[in-house]
Structure 1
């Protein structure tokens, strides 16, 4: 696991950001509610900090992050809310599926559960949602952990399209990790004889073309000035070296950690991921 440096956090900046009161605005009619979630609570008497919101990637669900959420709640003494994003798991479906509206879904979830000053952890689609949320709602965000994605426009791996086409032939997905990942989304609806996937295949298939996009284009106009951890799978193409300067412009206090894995970093190297997150969040709380 290779670690790159982080600028020294500014206590004045941190305190000033905590003093900002988040401005509420009417939600778009496209926001969905309520998002399904699992709450993994910190050990009783050991609660030490603000909540963590954990967001999965495309075709995933809150189940993907169950074990890691429990571990982080234990190690950090913080409650962890693992979400089902829209069109996934047990959350509502909607024809709109983009990062701006998913960030608004998270804001609404925070309002409903009276959460503030959160840490956002997201993998892939969840990572870009975390970035979009931090840039749009900086006063509500303590820091972020973005796993194997960057604030750039980049096409999705071709395999995602194949997953849609062959979802009912799971074995075509290739590796055991991916087969298990997709099978976790199967369920049998009431009065149905066959199992179906919980996510909205139709909507997600139509959204694949722009899920590689990032809603913000100009880092000179919007930045997140608090700490951010980017975790890169070195065998994955989603954070190329040329994206690192762009990350720094949107997130000037970022740290980059390289882990020898593919795109599914958390599933492939859970202990290295845990170490990186615990170290990063532990250091941030000390400053």
Structure 2
């Protein structure tokens, strides 16, 4: 499904999304909107989206951000443009009292939208950020290698997923990470050579933007309910980031789960309980 409506000042794109509607038929009030990370898609969140809908008894919308999944390929790949896309989505579906959950890059999009001066104060009630901080920092070397590996796969004109995995193993040893990256292969294409659904060139171009953040501490703040979830084995949020988080999000709660960067995949039940409890009870 797609939606379309231009946003003043920035060119937005219609985001693909999956919807999970509770038995009471509510489609607009107090929804949970989920934003995936770099190289991810709404598909990564199918099981958790269904579980969140059952637990919360509220609508859940999992989005594909621009240049990911089934959403359009479009330049530029900036957080301001991605936030504009999400705000456009929320307005077009007439969503109200939104809880916004973002992982990694999606977490930065969620933070950008919460901090954005054009975001109406009454749209977002809660923001949940999974394992990322509002800082300008270099992307891990892993991401650089993943892009190189994906470029190599496209260059080599291979025909099977197995061949793609063998090439990617030269750039990423973890089979679970390789499997995650290869979910982006376009296996429905009639072309003899496998290609990726995502535009590797645009994502490579946009890497410096993905490393960045639109504001420095002190420039903007969001005083709503905000939860940051850190993976204890991940370096994406460190002790030095916590004061910065508090500058941007004075009401923020920072908590940890025993996991790496993909907390929701490694500890789905614990993550679901943590997020559900927060959405239902924070601020009450």
Q: How high is the TM-score relative to the length of structure 2?
A: 0.86
Question: What secondary structure does 1:63 align onto?
Answer: helix
- What is the CA-CA distance between 1:29 and the residue it aligns to? 4.8
Taking a change above 3 Å as real, the CA distance of residues 210 and 25 of structure 1, as seen in their structure-2 partners, is: closer
Matched-pair contact (CA < 8 Å) for 1:43–1:74: no
Per-residue CA deviation, residues 231-281 of structure 1 (Å, 9 max, x unaligned), is 001111111101101111111111111111111111111111111101111
Count of equivalent residues: 261
Matched-pair contact (CA < 8 Å) for 2:10–2:81: no
1:143 paired residue number = 126
Q: How high is the TM-score relative to the length of structure 1?
A: 0.85
Question: Is the counterpart of residue 53 in structure 1 residue 51 in structure 2?
Answer: no
- What is the CA-CA distance between 1:190 and the residue it aligns to? 4.4
Taking a change above 3 Å as real, the CA distance of residues 107 and 39 of structure 1, as seen in their structure-2 partners, is: same
- What is the CA-CA distance between 1:49 and the residue it aligns to? 5.1
Per-residue CA deviation, residues 77-132 of structure 1 (Å, 9 max, x unaligned), is 11111000000111001120011110000011112211122111000000000000
1:207 paired residue number = 206
- What is the CA-CA distance between 1:71 and the residue it aligns to? 0.6
2:237 paired residue number = 239
Question: What secondary structure does 2:208 align onto?
Answer: coil
Matched-pair contact (CA < 8 Å) for 1:170–1:182: no
- What is the CA-CA distance between 1:206 and the residue it aligns to? 1.1
Taking a change above 3 Å as real, the CA distance of residues 252 and 262 of structure 1, as seen in their structure-2 partners, is: same
Question: What secondary structure does 1:95 align onto?
Answer: coil
2:196 paired residue number = 197
- Could you say what the CA RMSD is over the residues aligned between the two structures, in angstroms? 2.0
- What is the CA-CA distance between 1:45 and the residue it aligns to? 6.5
More deviation in 264-273 or 118-127?
264-273
More deviation in 83-92 or 38-47?
38-47
CA distance in 1, matches of 2:85, 2:28: 26
4+ residue runs of structure 1 moved beyond 3 angstroms?
A: 43-49, 188-191
**Structure ranking higher on relative contact order (CA contacts 8 Å, 6+ apart):** 1
Per-residue CA deviation, residues 207-249 of structure 1 (Å, 9 max, x unaligned), is 1123111101142x42111110100011111111011011111
Unaligned runs of 5+ in 2: 154-166
Matched-pair contact (CA < 8 Å) for 1:48–1:77: no
Question: Is the counterpart of residue 163 in structure 1 residue 146 in structure 2?
Answer: yes
Question: Is the counterpart of residue 27 in structure 1 residue 25 in structure 2?
Answer: no
Matched-pair contact (CA < 8 Å) for 1:85–1:91: yes
- What is the CA-CA distance between 1:191 and the residue it aligns to? 3.5
